Amino acid sequence: MSDQLTSNANQQSVQPFNSVEPLGSLHAIESSTLLKACVAPAVAIAHYQQALLWSTFAAQYTQWVSVLEAAGTQQLSGTPVVAAELLQSGRVKDNAPINRLLELLIAPDANFPTQNVDASVALNIANAINPREVSLRRRAANQGELAGLPSHYVPPTGGERLQRLLDDWQQFVGRGAADMNPLLLIGLAHCQFICIRPFTFSNTSTSQMLNQILLAEEGVLNKGVVLPLAWQFSHRATDYWRMQISAVCEHRWEPWLLFFLQKVTDCADRCAEQLHQLEKAKTNLLIQIGNQLPGIASAEALAIICTQPSCGISDVVDAGVAKRQTAASYLGRLAESGLLRECRVGKEKRFVNDQVLAMLIDDI
């Protein structure tokens, strides 16, 4: 915490960077290097979406990576979050900021139907994320808005300046860059938005949510698919901020875009591989359930339930595998054998699959 206070204090003595160039000047940025670098993330995303199609865990996995994306977003916003606790507790709704992000991630169309991304959509997202009313920022960024930023950078200020930059951003993500590779467009738009920080609250969270919506709007991701980019970025936060600030202040856009494209590739590859690992884990667990609970009629259904970061007795009951007393016996025996780990969350018993939990949250 003292390091954060020192960083904020240092930022207070730095003048706002009011020389941010509009995105409209970057239409000719596509180089052969960047265009070649766009191939790998496109292939990786295709593999990820294909893996989702055949996976028996597609719906659950989308929920889990949404939790990770929300956790990464909070981390980048300067709020420490322990992702493992969120996944094993089964009580994400108890964390209001995470829950608000999850509602937007899992059903963006329900919140922003039939709208192309523009400044009003961005503002609606910010207001949906933050319990306080959000508006265009007309003052210097406060300490909360500076959280996570390098101490040598303070975003631009002045209502008219920020409105011009936001209008330019809107034109860029609309029709202004129609011929640009969509991944490059999203990388540029993300960097510009997060560095100008146009709103009074929730700029970092809004920028991460805009990534998900733009990926779908630009046809890179199928609707309903979540790519946990913020989770990736949060593991490389120092590089993430440094390269974006360098792009905006020093016009070094290519290093940032190459970093962005690499993180998209890494993220999609990792998701596809995790889906494969989940299927293997389910198969192995099914064999072990047969050994520990011989003769069980719903072994496959129980294996799917237990191949989760955590499950509760009610999950087994709701799936129709067994009534409560029998369900408790099944999970207890699996915990005694070391396949699951029993823990208590409030008054509820949870049974954690440490192998799956570690696979989801391991260091990137």
Output the domain CATH number for residue 348: 1.10.10.10
pLDDT band at residue 262 using 50, 70 and 90 as cut-offs = very high
Strands ordered across the beta sheet of 341-345: 310-312, 348-352, 341-345
**In terms of DSSP H, where are the helices of 55-198?**
58-76, 83-89, 96-106, 108-111, 119-129, 143-146, 159-171, 182-196
Contacts of 305 (CB under 8 A, 6+ apart): 311, 315, 316, 319, 321
Same domain as 164, residue 44: yes
Q: What is the dihedral of CA 116, 231, 89, 97, to 10 degrees?
A: -50
Any bridge partners for residue 345, and if so which? 348
Domain assignment present for residue 282? The answer is: no
Name the domain boundary from 270, 301, 332.
Answer: 270
Domain assignment present for residue 8? The answer is: yes
Output the domain CATH number for residue 13: 1.10.3290.10
If you ran DSSP here, which 8-state letter would residue 199 be given?
B
Quick: pLDDT tens for 191-208.
Answer: 999 999 999 989 999 999
Any bridge partners for residue 352, and if so which? 310, 341
Quick: pLDDT tens for 103-133.
Answer: 888 776 655 554 688 999 999 999 999 888 9
Domain assignment present for residue 285? The answer is: no
Task: Note the pLDDT of residue 174.
Answer: 85
Task: Note the pLDDT of residue 177.
Answer: 60
> Is the pLDDT confidence value at 95 over 90?
no
Domain assignment present for residue 288? The answer is: no
Q: CA Rg, the chain, in Å?
A: 22
Domain assignment present for residue 30? The answer is: yes
Number of domains within the chain: 2
Report which of residues 44 and 347 the model is more confident about: 44
CA distance 205 to 226: 15
Task: Note the pLDDT of residue 169.
Answer: 95
Task: Note the pLDDT of residue 1.
Answer: 43
Domain assignment present for residue 323? The answer is: yes
Domain assignment present for residue 280? The answer is: no
Same domain as 230, residue 111: yes
Q: State which residues form the domain around 209.
A: 2-270
Quick: pLDDT tens for 296-344.
Answer: 889 999 999 999 999 999 999 999 999 999 999 999 999 999 999 999 8
For residue 341, give the H/E element and its range. Answer: strand 341-345
* Residue in the block written with tokens 């893996």: 51
Task: Note the pLDDT of residue 331.
Answer: 95
